[in-house]
Structure 1
């Protein structure tokens, strides 16, 4: 079993440890390369920089995406490890040595992050090289990897596991993580930020109805609202242009079980308008996820038609 040990900014770690979020964005200042060392569901550990040089926590890898900073902030807010967007920009700009106000950055999204108490920090493996800048892949198939894996699992299996803030951290044992890849994403408890990014990527960064590619106006819509105790799963989402998202949420638009667009007559009745929207009526979705498991689920569609849509 492979897992990743990522070189972690100490300030980023301390900021998030105080807040105990349900997800984090482990970002890189450059958006030039993808990250493929591990797959969804794999362990992703935080190795602090000098003077600490210890493994101090981690999370479970969901996805890596290259995103404009503005979208990363909208999706994750303080879960980026900064109190506001300008602070995040300053952190990134200091590492990039440029003045781009909205750079593309690498975003490794982690679910169920955990933060060890300082007395539980784990020394870096003896084969950790001083020249490592970003991180290193380990495997339970070798002695160094297995030793580190067991040390992490021993700490996670403590109940309750508390860090210095007194807040309870994630309790996840090895046997609780049997799914990997797409299957893992259907089981893990995703946060709102991960949901937005996964839906955005699943729909190829295009509006499902119109095919629009302008990223700042595209939003991840829940088919069955999260407030209705519905999970943040890709098959409960649609990527929609912002005006269509509003209409969808307010019941002026829906999709059928055959994945065609249906527009309510109430737009014309209430606003004496809607010509552009009625042109979409009856047409199939233009953009769909390539994986069937990520396409809109019938039970969520039925719920929206019965509880939200206003014919």
Structure 2
């Protein structure tokens, strides 16, 4: 496991610590480089700005992505650490010119965040330099990393964060380098699915991002998890039809369109043109592709 101590805006931390969300977007307005310090399941820790030189919480790293400002807000809302979109946009403009507002925002997606009370804050590591602007990474195999990890794990509530507690116990017993399996929230799910499909509709290949939606194959309300293999990126009209069972995707990734569109609405020729076609976009990594068990569940609600 690796740890990254990221320099954190104090107002962002305070706002979120009062709400205790299930996920957060740790965004940087000027970031132009991909964040590669952590792997999914590693820990990202919040180091407050001076003079509050303490680590005050953290979260489980999911991914880093560059998102248009509206999508970042749609996916995370107040979990961006701002009360509304206008405040969010205004805060970005404190660091960018108006002409740069449309430039994508560097977003580090964290789940299962934890916010410690003041008495639990950890002093910054002894090797922390005052000129560090973004943050610093630590391996739990190094002396400094071991010391920091020991402090972190002693403050974690195993009841609230059982995955982290389990990894801590495994590391203590065996010296294992296991990471935590991130438990995605709705926003992280949306970003994961959007990026897995290269920001294109799985069925048509459409690339107009505001028209695309990350949908669950098996709905969350019906015990479908926020997992990438339970997701499809679809154009909004196709997403609606998919959710209602008017179209489905077969186990070999072909589109099937229900005859009931024609029967019930006396229309649908544009949709029938998709019938039998292979998906236009399939995730490159097999572990990101729709899982058979979720597709089979959806076949059960398909209107045929």
TM-score interval, smaller chain: over 0.9
Structure 1 residue aligned with 2:302: 309
Structure 2 residue aligned with 1:265: 259
Matches within 5 A, 1:107-126: 107-126=107-126
The reply to whether residue 283 of structure 1 matches residue 283 of structure 2 is no
Aligned equivalents of 1:193, 1:50: Cα separation in 2: 30
Q: C-alpha deviations, 1:103-127, integer Å up to 9, x for none?
A: 3110000011001110010000121
Give the CA deviation at 1:83.
0.7
Give the CA deviation at 1:68.
0.4
Which of 213, 218, 226 lines up with 1:219 in the alignment?
213
TM-score, with structure 2 as normaliser: 0.93
Aligned equivalents of 1:238, 1:176: Cα separation in 2: 34
Q: C-alpha deviations, 1:174-200, integer Å up to 9, x for none?
A: 2479754xxx6xx43210000000001
Q: 1:127 to 1:238 in 2, by over 3 A?
A: same
The reply to whether residue 230 of structure 1 matches residue 224 of structure 2 is yes
Structure 2 residue aligned with 1:47: 47
Matched pairs, number: 296
Check conservation: 2:40, 2:182, Cα contact below 8 A.
Answer: no
Gaps of 5+ in 2: 172-176
Structure 1 residue aligned with 2:36: 36
SS of the residue corresponding to residue 24 of structure 2 reads: strand
Check conservation: 2:3, 2:137, Cα contact below 8 A.
Answer: yes
SS of the residue corresponding to residue 82 of structure 1 reads: coil
The reply to whether residue 248 of structure 1 matches residue 242 of structure 2 is yes
SS of the residue corresponding to residue 4 of structure 1 reads: strand
Check conservation: 1:224, 1:303, Cα contact below 8 A.
Answer: yes
Q: 1:150 to 1:232 in 2, by over 3 A?
A: same
SS of the residue corresponding to residue 114 of structure 1 reads: strand
Q: C-alpha deviations, 1:219-266, integer Å up to 9, x for none?
A: 101000000122111110001011100110111111111211000111
Check conservation: 1:31, 1:104, Cα contact below 8 A.
Answer: no
Aligned equivalents of 1:149, 1:141: Cα separation in 2: 10
Structure 1 residue aligned with 2:65: 65
Q: 1:31 to 1:205 in 2, by over 3 A?
A: farther
Check conservation: 2:92, 2:101, Cα contact below 8 A.
Answer: no
Aligned equivalents of 2:151, 2:194: Cα separation in 1: 36
Query: CA-atom RMSD, angstroms?
Result: 1.7
The reply to whether residue 92 of structure 1 matches residue 85 of structure 2 is no
Structure 1 residue aligned with 2:174: none
Gaps of 5+ in 1: 161-168
Aligned equivalents of 1:202, 1:179: Cα separation in 2: 24
